[in-house]
Amino acid sequence: MTGKAQTVLGLVDPATLGQTLMHEHLIWDATPPARRDVSTTGGPDPCEYWKFMTGGIADARNTTQRDRGLAAREAARMVEAGGGTIVELTIGGLVPDPEGLVEVSRESGAHIVMGCGHYVDDYQDPNNNKRTIESFAQEMIDQVQLCAWGTQVRAGIIGEIGCQWPWTDLEKRVLAAAVIAQQETGAALTIHPARHADHPWMLVEFLQEYGADLSRTIIDHIDRTIFDDDRLFRLADSGVVLEWDLFGQENTYYAAADIDMPNDGMRIRTIRRLIDRGHLGQIVISHDIWEKIRLAEFGGHGYTHIQKKVLPHMGKRGYSEDEINAIMIDNPRRLLTFV
Ligand SMILES: [Zn+2]
């Protein structure tokens, strides 16, 4: 596998990946497990877009997406807009559909790189509480090297490994296992940090202790987690990769935590400060779509927003073509290539 990337259709030459969205969901169930018995037929009403986006409504019509055809149509729009690859991080707890992703990739022409491992504690199978680091590690290694979730499909990246606040023992075991899987498979590791500004640094210390390769480890959701340059620069100096993956969320009111969510313009300015400090090789971006209301067919921005709006805006704000290519092509390619 060394020197190759692994999509749901098999190993590929990383040079063919093209512009890559590093953190998305195409087929998922982000409805909390206790509320999944609710009927999920139909989608959210686009007339209620604002309520959905500001947390006024939260239900399975919006947070459960099992329609392979819809996913394929949305992914095809991204290919049409110039995108090449979607990294799909629906893993244990979010109800992955690997065979669905194979169909979506074939129908849309998008490369899809699938994640593996387990999401946050509250979403995990209660039986996981009894499992050891070794058991989780072997499962992730197998998901990359053999097959995932009872299918023939293999993962191409480890994560998004979930952490909540307070960080639980189960989550620490899964992350320790993910580091072993990173070392064993040569895949990159991507981590959903807890919603607390100090947690990314706790992750760095944990990862260093367990011997992770920080240059091949991504801390996700920086947009909703870090709000000051001291913490940001300290993280960047550790060598870890930083991901702004909530592009397209243009309003202050984030339902999942008491923060001021930045908009795209603020994301672009923050990333600029990091580039000016020499961290261009450590930055990736995405939309992290896990609500149907953000899909194009429900009136949302879809998976084309970065290609259509964000990259041109970066150009207007002084980003060079080389810098944009580093963020969209070179950095993802390096991360998705097995070492
Ligand atoms: Zn996440």
Comparing 47-61, 100-114, 158-172, 197-211, the range with the smallest average pLDDT is 47-61
The answer to whether residue 57 scores a pLDDT higher than 90 is: no
Confidence of residue 312 (pLDDT cuts 50, 70, 90): very high
**Domain range annotation of the chain:** 11-336
Phi, psi of 337 (to 5 degrees): -85, 125
Average pLDDT (88-112) is 98
Say how many Å lie between the CA of residue 120 and the centre of ligand 1. 9
Question: Do residues 26 and 104 make contact, with C-beta atoms less than 8 angstroms apart?
Answer: yes
Q: Which of the following CATH numbers is that of domain 11-336: 3.40.50.1370, 3.30.70.1560, 3.40.1260.10, 3.20.20.140? A: 3.20.20.140
User: Is the pLDDT at 40 greater than 80, yes or no?
Assistant: no
Distance 219 CA to ligand 1 centre (A): 10
CA distance 7 to 10: 5
Q: How far is the CA of 90 from the centre of ligand 1 (A)?
A: 9
Q: Residue 58 has what pLDDT? A: 85
Span 11-30, pLDDT tens digits: 999 999 999 999 999 999 99
Q: Work out the pLDDT band at 42, boundaries 50, 70, 90.
A: confident
Cα of 168 vs centre of ligand 1, distance in Å, is: 16
Q: State in Å: Cα 115 to ligand 1 middle.
A: 12
Alpha helices (H) in the chain, listed in sequence order: 49-53, 60-63, 68-80, 98-108, 133-145, 169-185, 199-210, 229-237, 264-276, 305, 311-316, 321-325, 331-336
* pLDDT band at 39; cut points 50, 70, 90: low
> Residue 214 Cα, ligand 1 centroid: separation in angstroms?
19
162 contacts 171 by C-beta, under 8 angstroms: yes
Ligand 1 centroid – CA 221 distance (Å):
7
Residue 41 has pLDDT above 90, yes or no: no
- Structure tokens belonging to residue 153: 């499909």
Model pLDDT for residues 116-144, shown as the tens digit of each residue: 999 999 999 999 999 999 999 999 999 99
Going from the Cα of 288 to the center of ligand 1, the distance in angstroms, rounded, reads 7
* Distance from the alpha carbon of residue 255 to the mean position of ligand 1, in angstroms: 14
Amino acid residing at 113: V
Tell me, in angstroms, the distance from the centre of ligand 1 to residue 227's CA.
Answer: 18
Rg (CA), the chain: 18
**Mean pLDDT of the 233-257 span:** 96
Mean pLDDT of 167-177: 98
Q: How far is the CA of 78 from the centre of ligand 1 (A)?
A: 21
Q: How far is the CA of 107 from the centre of ligand 1 (A)?
A: 26
